[in-house]
């Protein structure tokens, strides 16, 4: 077996009840949620019992997802599954950096809360949205977006799937064009046009929050959304710029595979990143961990290889 990568889930995968079983199965996961509740009272309750509407608010989504992502990774590690590298999708990148030791848990969680507040505030300034365009190649989607004034290709997820962000009215106007080109659109459960110029003010403010902090070198490499390459000497700039620039996920997976990673484990709610791996790297092994059953299944499959 080659190298193992942990992939940390992003926004859109959240659901009520997420993380509860992880805290029951893992002492380190339970300790993480206890830390989160001390820093942000009610985080566990939101994860375990929050409504769909409550969990869809960015101020809540990001801290909650951070905890579930990191809890799944910690539970795996606790049972002997070791990651050789990591990547996180958008918000998941914060959890990946924390897991890698570039940030400690308290700082990572506190930064996520600040990031969430800034992005939520930016999202409320304009009526924007995001949608996945399916079954079209990237160039076609880019050309369609270019017909509009504020419509941007932002998440390069996998072959045949590119997420766009833009004004809600322009997202609606894009639908018939996508259909005419042979594709279809799926709206995302997020509250704004992330990874686009709509987040410029938030990215600048987040960069200012990061400036006085010290990042450690990390115990494993983390691939950056912004470059599709491992984090290097300037993590603060990468982390701030990530908020207003596209996520190069498909290229990240290709680069990790080229670096010797052939086993990818999505840690966090849902199977979105698991699906991206299957579509981008069909020759790779893919697993996901979000609850007690998937934790047990993945541990058994990986450790028996």
The two tokens of residue 238 are: 């990468």
Q: How far, CA to CA in Å, does 50 sit from each of 23, 44, 264?
A: 16, 9, 29
Is 90 labeled as catalytic in the residue annotation?
A: yes
Based on C-alpha coordinates, what's the Rg of the chain? 18
The CA distance from 103 to 206, in Å, is: 15
Beta carbons of 252 and 225 less than 8 angstroms apart: yes
- Give residue 234's Cα distance to chain centre: 20
Catalytic choice (9, 26, 195, 288): 195
Taking alpha carbons only, the member of 209, 14, 248 closest to residue 118 is 209
Through-space distance between the first and last CA atoms of the chain, rounded to whole angstroms: 7
Is 191 labeled as catalytic in the residue annotation?
A: no
The two tokens of residue 303 are: 């450790």
Catalytic choice (90, 128, 191, 196): 90
- Give residue 264's Cα distance to chain centre: 15
Which residues form the catalytic set? 90, 195
């Amino acid at each position: 077996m080659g190298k193992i990568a942990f992939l940390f889930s992003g926004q859109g995968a959240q659901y009520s009840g997420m993380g509860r079983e992880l805290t029951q199965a893992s002492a380190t996961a339970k300790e993480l949620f206890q830390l989160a509740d001390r820093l942000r009272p009610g985080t566990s309750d939101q994860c375990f019992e929050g409504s769909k509407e409550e969990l869809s608010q960015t101020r809540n989504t990001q801290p909650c997802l951070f905890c579930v992502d990191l809890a799944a990774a910690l539970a795996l590690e606790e049972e002997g599954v070791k990651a050789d590298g990591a990547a996180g999708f958008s918000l998941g990148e914060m959890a990946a950096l924390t897991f890698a030791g570039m940030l400690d848990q308290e700082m990572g969680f506190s930064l996520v809360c600040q990031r969430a507040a800034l992005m939520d505030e930016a999202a409320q300034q304009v009526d924007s949205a995001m949608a996945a365009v399916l079954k079209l190649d990237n160039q076609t989607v880019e050309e369609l977006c270019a017909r509009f004034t504020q419509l941007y290709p932002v998440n390069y997820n996998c072959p045949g799937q590119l997420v766009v962000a833009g004004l809600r009215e322009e997202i609606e106007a894009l639908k018939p064009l996508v259909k005419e080109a042979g594709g279809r659109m799926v709206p995302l459960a997020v509250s704004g046009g992330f990874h686009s110029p709509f987040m410029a003010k938030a990215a600048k403010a987040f960069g200012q929050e990061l400036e006085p902090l010290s990042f450690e070198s990390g115990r494993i490499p983390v691939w950056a959304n912004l470059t599709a390459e491992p984090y290097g000497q300037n993590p603060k700039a990468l982390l701030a710029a990530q908020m207003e620039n596209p996520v190069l996920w498909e290229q990240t997976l290709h680069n990790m595979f080229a670096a010797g990673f052939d086993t990818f484990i999505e840690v966090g709610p849902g199977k979105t990143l698991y699906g991206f791996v299957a579509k981008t790297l069909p020759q790779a092994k893919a697993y996901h961990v979000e609850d007690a059953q998937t934790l047990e299944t993945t541990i058994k499959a990986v450790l028996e290889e």
